[in-house]
């Protein structure tokens, strides 16, 4: 086993700066949705409530509205939108109808015969004044907030996940037209996604290095806001022959597709995503959660190859305080629990050695 000296540990702490001032809005993307609070809900006044497939849309003849059949296309119905952020990520929680199971959209070919999509649209520079000032992204000439990024929510791209550690790729608009013109994946990484056991709630973490460092908007200098639009789509099984079933979709939005506008709470440092270079070495160590913690916290890491793994806890002087895992592990994502009972309050370093690669982060224990 390789050893890291006290000097290396202190150098790490200096490089990380005051890493003890962790954002309190960091979300564990695990499908449990236990970290969210009602004050994070975005689909509340003054925003317009979410429009369902049953609600239809005024002035659009191709709406599949059917208020008498509450189960019609229910697996595509959105019911709630929650948003928060920290220094590194934009977090989105989407609640579907309690009767929904998004997996049905891809297996029930009678209700959803083709062109199934459940997606998250983002406008990184939304038009807040309803005067079509946002000329970037996909607007079709009538969206107030042009769509600059698309995050697919289902299904998970297993090949992309195996390669990068992200469950789905983020697609960015090329800005060459106001129509559908997206390229994927984004060079700064993708999105982490976790559905609950019933597949009617999903948590998403999108790196700010992606949405605030667009590859196709060289003029972009940042924004305090982001507009979020929820899109679900499938061929409408009740279309008449005269109608175009491709457009039988319902978007959850404000009038004229402004979207739900969120104001960032945490400042982005401008540093690119750490996961991409780490994965080039075959290993990703995530920030422990919760952090600060008392008394327990979870440490997650992802490996591309099988390796002997050792997870240790050090104090800030580099002294060994505990070994919480020592085992041979298969490729994939792993989680270990650390119980700080018996430890004094303070900053600690957790160090993971996997196949000769040593990675460390800091964490704070507060009694």
Q: What is the pLDDT of residues 265-292, one digit of tens each?
A: 988 866 444 443 444 456 778 888 888 8
β-bridge pairing 149-154 and 332-339 = unpaired
Between residues 161 and 359, which one has the greater pLDDT? Answer: 161
Between residues 144 and 181, which one has the greater pLDDT? Answer: 181
Residue 3: predicted pLDDT: 34
Between residues 86 and 50, which one has the greater pLDDT? Answer: 86
pTM: 0.66
Q: Looking at residues 127-152, what average pLDDT do you find?
A: 81
Residue 140: predicted pLDDT: 77
Q: Looking at residues 236-241, what average pLDDT do you find?
A: 58
Q: What percent of the chain has pLDDT over 90?
A: 29
Render pLDDT for 221-234 as a digit per residue (tens, 0 to 9): 888 989 998 888 77
Render pLDDT for 302-336 as a digit per residue (tens, 0 to 9): 888 888 999 999 886 678 899 999 999 988 888 89
pLDDT(199) > 80? yes
Residue 295: predicted pLDDT: 92
Residue 148: predicted pLDDT: 94
Q: How confident is the model at residue 131 (pLDDT cuts 50, 70, 90)?
A: low
Q: How confident is the model at residue 338 (pLDDT cuts 50, 70, 90)?
A: very high
Residue 263: predicted pLDDT: 92
3-state DSSP of the chain: CCCCCHHHHHHHHHHHCCCCCCCCCCCCCCCCCCCCCHHHECCCCCCCCCCCCCCCCCCCCCCCCCCCCCCCCHHHCEEEEEEEECCCEEEEEEEECCCCCCCHHHHCCCCCCCCCEEEEEEECCCCCCCCCCCCCCECCCCCCCCECEEEEEECCCHHHHHHHCCCECCEEECCCCCCCCEECCCCCCCEEEEECCCCCEEEEEEEHHHHCCCCCCCCCCCCCEEEEEEEEECCCCCCCCCCCHHHCEEEECCCCCCCEEEECCCCCCCCCCCHHHHHHCCEEECCCECCCECCEEEEEEEECCCEEEEEEEEECCCCEEEEEEEEEECCEEEEEEEECCCCCCEEEEEEEEECCEEEEEEEEECC
Residue 177: predicted pLDDT: 85
Between residues 207 and 57, which one has the greater pLDDT? Answer: 207
Q: How confident is the model at residue 300 (pLDDT cuts 50, 70, 90)?
A: confident
Residue 230: predicted pLDDT: 86
Residue 83: predicted pLDDT: 95
**Residue ranges per domain, the chain?**
6-22+287-365, 38-263
Residue 324: predicted pLDDT: 95
Task: Round the average pLDDT of the chain to a whole number and report it.
Answer: 78
Render pLDDT for 38-68 as a digit per residue (tens, 0 to 9): 999 998 876 666 766 556 544 444 445 455 6
Q: Looking at residues 107-128, what average pLDDT do you find?
A: 84
Residue 296: predicted pLDDT: 92
Residue 185: predicted pLDDT: 78
Quickly name the fold that domain 6-22+287-365 has: Immunoglobulin-like (2.60.40)
């Amino acid at each position: 086993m390789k050893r890291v000296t006290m000097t290396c540990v202190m150098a790490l702490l200096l490089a990380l700066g005051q890493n003890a001032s962790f954002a309190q809005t960091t979300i564990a993307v695990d499908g449990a949705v236990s970290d969210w609070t009602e004050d994070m809900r975005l689909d509340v006044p003054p925003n317009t409530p979410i429009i369902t497939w049953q609600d239809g849309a005024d002035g659009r003849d191709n709406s599949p509205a059917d208020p008498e059949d509450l189960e019609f296309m229910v697996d595509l119905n959105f019911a709630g939108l929650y948003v928060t952020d920290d220094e590194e990520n934009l977090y989105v929680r989407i609640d579907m109808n309690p009767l929904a199971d998004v997996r049905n959209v891809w297996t029930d070919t009678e209700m959803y015969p083709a062109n199934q999509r459940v997606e998250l649209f983002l406008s990184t520079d939304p038009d807040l004044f309803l005067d079509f000032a946002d000329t970037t992204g996909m607007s079709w000439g009538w969206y107030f907030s042009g769509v600059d990024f698309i995050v697919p929510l289902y299904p998970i791209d297993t090949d992309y996940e195996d390669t990068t550690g992200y469950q789905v790729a983020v697609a960015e608009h090329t800005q060459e037209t106001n129509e559908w013109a997206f390229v994927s994946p984004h060079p700064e990484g993708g999105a982490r996604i976790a559905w609950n056991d019933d597949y009617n709630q999903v948590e998403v973490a999108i790196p700010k290095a992606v949405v605030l460092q667009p590859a196709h908007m060289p003029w972009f200098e940042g924004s305090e806001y982001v507009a979020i639009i929820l899109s679900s789509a499938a061929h409408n099984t009740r279309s008449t022959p005269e109608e175009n079933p491709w457009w039988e979709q319902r978007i959850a939005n404000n009038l004229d597709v402004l979207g739900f506008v969120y104001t960032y709470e945490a400042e982005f440092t401008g540093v690119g995503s750490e996961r991409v270079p780490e994965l080039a070495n075959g290993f990703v160590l995530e920030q422990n959660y919760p952090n600060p913690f008392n008394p327990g916290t979870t440490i997650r890491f992802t490996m591309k190859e099988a390796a002997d793994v050792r997870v240790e806890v050090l104090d800030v002087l580099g002294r060994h305080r505990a070994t919480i895992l020592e085992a041979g592990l298969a490729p994939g994502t792993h989680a270990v629990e650390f119980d700080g009972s018996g430890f004094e309050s303070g900053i600690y370093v957790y160090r993971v050695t996997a196949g000769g690669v040593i990675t460390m982060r800091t964490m704070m224990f507060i009694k």
